[in-house]
Structure 1
């Protein structure tokens, strides 16, 4: 009953059952009957039908539609199937332009009967071109995940540049699968560590310090003293100090193989795969030139025949 009265109130019908007796608008009527003998109107039976629906709400403004309705027009899958609904106007708003191929892409489209067109769009053939050696995906994977062995000649090379080239291979930074926590480094074999070179007067000026941990255990030695005691110590310290300071440093140092001369054990020599180029070009000494190279060398000044050295 209260629900019907609320609907009547929304429709504009006065709520007579809420009129209080003794007020000005109170009119005594029998429930369910309108009119009567005292009013002069014919007695009329009240309809049992429910009141009609409420009037329609005002149409939303154009600004509301632009704000809350999607701007893009739905695709063909979202449209209704009936012809009448399909022809209904869509809400106002800018439409997105359809995607079109550029003229350059359309110009280079393969013909319909070609092999590239039959393979499908966006797919590339994994076969190698004719006249070239095939390099399969499996071979690429083995070369990436396998541990290679590199050779580096330290003759007449500064220890700092040797360490920079070695650390890249030990950590695996030259591989596409490199990660700071991924153990994917390779082995590096360094030969001729006895014949390294320092610039300037670093053999006497450079000092290496150590401490035993006990009182009076602090020691200092020059680069010359350390190199005479152990020909591989300077290169080893340079590589160790350049590696990241974490728990992987000792594991990476186990893949570093140092030799004072060019003599390598046979089991290590069999594993060598590639040679790392020297960081610095080695100059030739005068006694290393052949007589033919000396004769072909351009002369800046030719002394006269009567020239005498004082």
Structure 2
């Protein structure tokens, strides 16, 4: 009788660091989501968390092509009547540059409990300094 072999999840996750300086938002986000899901490993299993941790630095210097800096809109709602807030890419980049990458990657992850767990493995920082030196992250070239 054949049995399905599930990968062992014994904490063999790696840490990768990605520099967002002059990187295109969408292309970088697809690389990040693939690492978070574990699609870059031979032991990839769609329903398990086999992914690695990702640290993104210099998120304030991410790049979008075309006229998206003025045309791309980010919406959020407070839940109150008339509570819709709309910001352009440029406004959000000056206010909260981390939110741009987080929102882009979160949309590429699966919806549900697995996607929420994978999203916690993403760490985004606006500048070049991060507190994860002890994990010895490897540089990932996008």
Q: Does 1:186 align with 2:52?
A: yes
Q: Does 1:263 align with 2:129?
A: yes
Q: Distance in 2 between matches of 1:272 and 1:239?
A: 23
Cα separation, partners in 2 of 1:229 and 1:182, compared to 1, 3 Å: same
Aligned residue among 151, 169, 173 for 2:35: 169
Q: Does 1:276 align with 2:140?
A: yes
Higher strand share: 2
Partner of 1:78: none
5+ long unaligned stretches in structure 2: 1-6
Following TM superposition, by how much is the alpha carbon of 1:272 offset from its aligned partner in structure 2, in angstroms? 2.8
Partner of 2:85: 219
Q: Distance in 1 between matches of 2:20 and 2:45?
A: 28
TM-score of the aligned structures, taking structure 2 as reference length: 0.87
Q: Distance in 2 between matches of 1:244 and 1:250?
A: 8
Aligned residue among 232, 244, 248 for 2:110: 244
Partner of 1:207: 73
Secondary structure of 1:215's aligned partner = coil
Q: Where in structure 1 do 4 or more consecutive aligned residues deviate above 4 Å? A: none
| Equivalence map 1:122-141=2 (5 Å) | none
5+ long unaligned stretches in structure 1: 1-140, 279-310
Q: Distance in 1 between matches of 2:85 and 2:114?
A: 27
Q: What RMSD in Å do the two structures reach over aligned CA positions?
A: 1.9
Q: Distance in 1 between matches of 2:38 and 2:71?
A: 34
TM-score of the aligned structures, taking structure 1 as reference length: 0.41
Secondary structure of 1:182's aligned partner = coil
Following TM superposition, by how much is the alpha carbon of 1:214 offset from its aligned partner in structure 2, in angstroms? 2.2
Contact kept in structure 1, 2:48 and 2:114, CA below 8 Å: no
Cα distance per residue 1:149-172 (max 9 Å; x no partner): 001110001111111000111011
Q: Which has the higher contact order (CA 8 A, sep 6+)?
A: 2
Contact kept in structure 2, 1:151 and 1:272, CA below 8 Å: no
The aligned length equals 135
